[in-house]
Amino acid sequence: MSTLSRRSFLRSAALVGATALTACTVTTTNGVTTITLDVTKVKNYGQAGLNAAATVTSFLSSFPALAPYALAITAAETALSGALSAFSSAAGSTLTISYNDATWKTRVDSILSDLDTLAAAIESALSGSGAALSSSVLSNARTAYNALATLISVFKALLGVPDAKAPVGTRTRLTRDMVLVGAPVPATGMTEAQALKALGV
């Protein structure tokens, strides 16, 4: 029975890994590392950010005292939407892009930067909301924030970009290999798939 369970687990892990591998492939030739990204995956991360923003601002909209936080989130959402539209227009029907190409790198980095700004705005709103939000609303908003933080960590790990919020010098730091096998992000306990589902992508 345990052998069957182990086989099932390994099969599932292989399928998850194969899915993740299509999102990002990394090759090194003569010391030069090339990162190829799935266009749909980048779009999904951007859309998840927009969904997180919409979710949290809908919670804040009933409280005038929280309007400054909602405005900051909306500003970050607008910037992300613009970066995502520019990326989508440039990609057209292209399925994959090279992160080593300076133009594509700039577009991808713009989306990632806007996701970071958005996450910071949401985190600030949750910290500053005090007792204005009910415990259930705050819990839902935190779930959206944690899902967004998960995707940002995954995105950075795939790109090989340092994550300032990740634990430094510990085994809990997220690596590209961890992402490729569908491991949860240590800081949030969520997997990429769970985070995308939580944000409706």
pLDDT per residue over 150-198, tens digit each? 999 999 988 888 776 654 444 567 777 777 777 888 888 899 999 999 9
Gap between the Cα atoms of 201 and 195, Å rounded: 9
Q: Is the pLDDT of residue 3 over 90?
A: no
| The pLDDT value given to residue 1 | 40
| The pLDDT value given to residue 26 | 77
Gap between the Cα atoms of 113 and 152, Å rounded: 10
pLDDT per residue over 76-106, tens digit each? 999 999 999 999 999 998 899 999 899 999 9
The backbone region for 100, taken as left when phi is positive above 0, alpha when psi lies in -120 to 50, beta otherwise, is alpha
pTM of this structure: 0.81
Token pair of 96 as six digits: 């994959």
Residue 80, Cα to own-chain centre: how many angstroms? 13
Provide the b/e sequence for 106-143 (b: ≥16 CB within 10 Å): ebbebbbebbbbbbebbeebbeebeebbeeebeebbeb
Closest to 158 in 3D by CA, of 124, 192, 186: 192
Percentage with pLDDT > 70 across the chain = 84
pLDDT category at 23 given cuts 50, 70, 90 is low
The DSSP secondary-structure symbol of 96 reads: E
